[in-house]
Each structure stands twice: as C-alpha cells, then as structure tokens.
A and B are shown apart, each in its own frame.
Chain A
Amino acid sequence: MKYAKRNDGRKFDEPRQMKAEVGVIKNAVGSAKFQIGKTIAIAAVYGPNDVFPKFLQKPDRAILRCSYNMMAFSGSGERVRPGTNRRGKEIGMVMEKAFENVLDLSEFPKAAIDVFVELPQTDAGTRCAGICAASLALADAGFEMKDLVCAVSCGLVGDQVVVDLDKSEEDFEGGAVDIPIAMTPRNGEVTLLQLDGEISKEELKKAIEFGREACLKIYEVQKEALKAKYKEAKE
C-alpha cells in the first residue's frame, strides 16, 4: 500500500522535534528527561548499591538493572495496566544490553547500578526515548562510559522507508515494520536492533541509514542538554 505523505507532514528521514534536560530528579544520582514528538521518557539512575540476592553479584564488575514502565495514563486513551509486565521486562533487558558495552562497570565490583525509566506520555518509539534518557542520566551521574547512546526507531510504513515512526504510522492500515535501533554516535556501533515484521534487504539497509542520520541529530540534542546543566550554573 502506498504511503506518499507522512501524517504529520515530516520528511521521510526527519525525526520528530526533540527536547532534553538533565538533573530533573534531585534525589537521584543522575537523571534526565527526553522528549521526542509526544513521547516523553524520564530516567533516574541510583547507585552503585548493594546487590541482593547475593548470587546476582559479579565479583569483578557491577551489574546494570534497567526498569521500564509506561504510566497508567500514558497511552492514547485506553488505560495501561500498571505494574510489571512481560513487555516491560523484555524492554528492560534489551536496554541493559544496549548499555553493557558502553558503560565501564568494572569501576564498582560487586555492586549494582539501577536505572529507572518511566514514560508519562507515549506516542510510539518509547524504548528508544527511554534509552536516550537513560544514557543522559548515566552520563549525568558521572559514570565512565565510552560514548553516549542514541536510539531511534526506523522502518517501513506501507511501501515507504521512514525514520521515527509515531503511533499513527505504526498502526498504518497498509502495514508497518518497526525497527528500534540504538548506536554510539562516534563510531556508529549498533547496541540494539530489533525487527518486527517483514522487510527486504535493500529497505532494511536504507532504514538503518536513516536511523543513523537521526541518531546523530539526537546526539547533538543530548550533548547540548548535558552541557546546559553546567552552563546555567556558570551565570
């Protein structure tokens, strides 16, 4: 099915408007808010903490624990059942994997670093917004990391390759393929790639290329947000 023009008038390779802010939760060691379009993610980092039960402890490094939660009122009208669910657990797990090779966890042996991602408002692309926010919060907390992590969804809507799908595009009646992708912007290493649906090799390549370009745009927003925290204090 043809998809000639995007519902919100964006170009096919254009991500939604972004906004980022760090230090939004004063109690946390590091925190951040990341907004892309109507999707808002808030991340808070606590720790390093003790690990219980003890068998989860790693003697040579810290473990990373991510939790992902969509708030009950966050959807587009229908109530999201609160509490843990399989989807949240899975996304928490893939987020841990997305940071595993970027964070230097050997600094805190036997400990745990906790990352909580909450979504007060969602319009698709939540795990990507969550990863962007979590990466900012981890950097804000002062943990050693090789690079920031930027994430965006790309994919196929109808017959058109697009980047940063919103909810209306994900539910496009002609079918849509959603590919969340996370990467380190400096050398373009992919730390998360999920694919849901059917897509040809050429289209996949093009989608990833779109995603890569969008990630670089996200990186600029993230960098600015981190620096803004200290510029304000300078005044």
Chain B
Amino acid sequence: MPIVLITSPPPHEMGHALAQNLADDTGWPQYSRGQLVEEAHAHGIKLSRLETSIIKSPVISEQLAREKELYLSFVTDMLCGEIENKNLIYSGRSGHLLFPGVRNILRVGLGVPIEIRINNASKKLGMPFEKTQDYLKYLDEDIEKWNHYVHREQASDRSNYDLFLNLENLSLANASVLLQKTAELTDFQLSDKNLSLLEDLHLAARARLHLARNKETTGLNLGIRARDKVVTVTYMPRQESAATSISQALDSLEGCRENLCTMAETNILYIQEQFNPKTDDLGQVTQLAKRWGAAVELIRLVPKEEEAGSSLEDLRAEPLSANGRNGSTYTGGVEDDGPEINTDDGGLSETLEELVAMGRSAGGYTVAGAGREIINAVKENNNYSLVILGNLFLSKGPQASTRLTRELGLTLHDKLRTPVIDIKELKSEFLFGKAQAFKLVMFTLILVCIYGLVFNFQKPILNVIGGNLHEQWKWAAAFGLAIFVPVVAYIYGTVSGLLLKLIDID
C-alpha cells in the first residue's frame, strides 16, 4: 500500500493524467495540487500572496515565513488525512518534496517534451505558440523560486526522485503500469518506522494549524516539532504571556500525549553520537544557550554502517520523546519479554531530561546517516543560530573522524546557512576561560604600550603622517598607517570582545 508523489512541469496536465490513470488502475485515492489550493483558500490560507512574494523577491518577512509554514502544515495535514490504508496518489508541481525525511514513499518526476507542454498550455490558455513558450519559461523560473524558498531544494536535483519518467517515448498508460509495479515493491511499503515519522509530521502540522486557529496563540512565531507524540514548541521571549495558552491549546490536540514549551530567542543545534549530561561539553553548550537566550535541540547522529541489524531503508530518523521513551526502536537480538526494553540511546534521554530541568530543551531525537539525513530532519524548523558538532564518527580513527566531521560541518553550513562549530572550539570562540583571561591581559598590555607611545610622541608621528617629513615619505607614511591601523583595531577589538564576553554580552 504505497504513497506516490508525482511532480510534473507546468501546465501539469500530464502529471494529473498519469495520476488519474494510476488511480483508475489501482483504486487508490488521488489528490491534486489544484484541489489543495482550493481547500487552502477555503481555510483562509493566503496562498496567492505567498506565491507572489516568493516569485517577486527573495526578501521574506517573518509574516510571510509564517504563512509558508502554515501552508506546508495545511498541505501535510490534508494529505495525511487523505491517506487511507497507507496509500495515496498526489500530483503537483513539487509533490516529490513533500514529507521530507520519510522513506518508502515513491517520489516520481515526469519529463515532458517542451512541444507537448507548449501545445497543452496553448490550448488551455488560448495563447499563440511564441507567447506560450515565454509564458512557460517564466513559469518554470517561478516554480524554481518556489521550490527554493518553500522546500529549500532544487527541482532539478535528481537525487530527490526515486523514479524519473520521460514521457517522450512512453505512453501514459504504460507509465501508469510502470508506476503501479514499482509502487508494489517492498521498498515502497511504509515501514512502521516511516509511518511513525509520517504521523509525527502530521501531528506537528496539526499542532501548528491548531495554534494558528486558537485566538490566544494566533500570529505567534513558533518553532514546532513532534516526535513520538510529544510536541515541542519554542516561542520568543516577547511572547512570554502566550506560553500557558500554547500549552493549554495543545492539551486539547488529539494524538499529543505530551507538550513542551520552551521560551527561546533562537535555537542551538547540538549534534553528537554519545551524550552525557555530566560532561563539560554540555555545560559549555548550556552556558552559551543561557547567554543567548537559546533553546538546545539535540540530534544523536548514528552513522549508517553502525546501526546494527538495519537495512538501508530503515536508516531514518528515529523518534524519541522528550522524556526519552523510544517508541518503536528495534534493538536486534533476543528481545526481553519484561517491561524494560533495552533502549541504548547514547545518553540522549538523560541529557534531554537535564535540558528540560534547566528550561533549555528544544527536543531531541536520533538520526541515522549523515548530512542529508540531518538536513531533512531539521529543514522545516530551521531557526538555528549555531550548529555544534560534538564527538562524531567514533568508530573511525581520529583523523577520519576529524575529516568526516569537517565535511559534515561544511554540508550543514552550506544547506542551513548557519554557523557550524566544533565543540572543541566552543570555549575559545564563545566562552571565557583561563586562556581568554591570559589573552585579555596580554593584549591590554600591548594596547597600553601602543597608545602610550603614540600620545607621548605626537609631534614626530604627526610630522611623518602629515607634516614636513610626510612630503618626503608619502608612500611610506601611507603604507605604515595602512598596516598600523588594522593591528590596533585587531588588538583593541580582541580586548573589547573579551571584556564583553566576560560579562556575558556577545
């Protein structure tokens, strides 16, 4: 019983026709983007404003970002609601990008020859051939912008598709048969793990819509996640008065067994393989979070090859509740028949408990894989000021681990556009310790010497930079200044930065 998501180029006739064929052949429920848009309008989602803003300009305000999240939540809610017996056919302009991070879903792309597209669009719109050609060109560009902003992906990235069909040499009927056969493969049957992920996405979407419709919480900028029926919400300090309302509103949300509301101006994403709440590392992270007014989101990263007993298709984000109860993790080997299940979560649940107690929790979960899997897991809630990479790839040697961590950092920085730092550099970059104190003293001494020299020998110095001597040494004076000034700025910048760091302002 599969889910098939079809993406076709505008005017989308071929995609819809293929979806209809498949629905007729299989009896699976079918949904199109057109239906979604109508429903969205009926529910007050201002889709046209969102589309216009995205197409016209990449400068998106908080309000539009909120509308984008609402729209995505609406789509997720509608489609998940339509999934009967775990099957659904959806066709749209970027259908394959829906339900990020969930595997066992057949994501299909259609290649339609441009002549067919122009003919279809020309007939539909009653426009001449040349005008239709230009129209489609601009429409393709607009859809690319939409994908880029809404899904943070490019439609041309073939790695996002499971199957790409070129309809130039393939009839719709045969394409439908091909899809049906492919969809019946075991690879495209939703595993319990992926079903659970889909349910979490649905719960988070419902939570967002629920809060948007509640008069006490509507209009708030919230970060919302759901894992194993636990909904985690982060809200801004300026929305402090709404905290209780958020909790109360979520209390009536069906399917939510626990909710966590954390006040935070921003989030820090902390990725590590093994967590331990008693280590200095966590202390440093929470110290920084306190200074920034941030909540800490934990990801336990398990490299694919290390997840024993798992096949490739199982290597997805594993849900874990805020209190550490792991919903459906298969541990391998002989299962205990007692109530205690051996769930070694690498210290994640303990650490999460610690963060909840400190009022800094933004939730946590396990991800199996590397950069791409992490991005899929976090991209819908990307409100991070910093990504911290802790001890990772522990089974590799130190050099390989360093290299892989560095590569992961580059990938995350590139995709999330957020600073990424190694936990070892956290102290020197953001915190104040003995080394920083020593640096502060040394740089202050140097600074005092420089200022003392300049202000005690003003006349000869000014003579060189603008007086009689300057006429003879113009270039030397100019270059001397060009070297001297940044040195002073650097030294004093370091001193002032360290001083402010000392009193927790940065």
A binds B: no
Q: Which residues from chain B sit less than 8 Å from chain A, CB to CB?
A: none
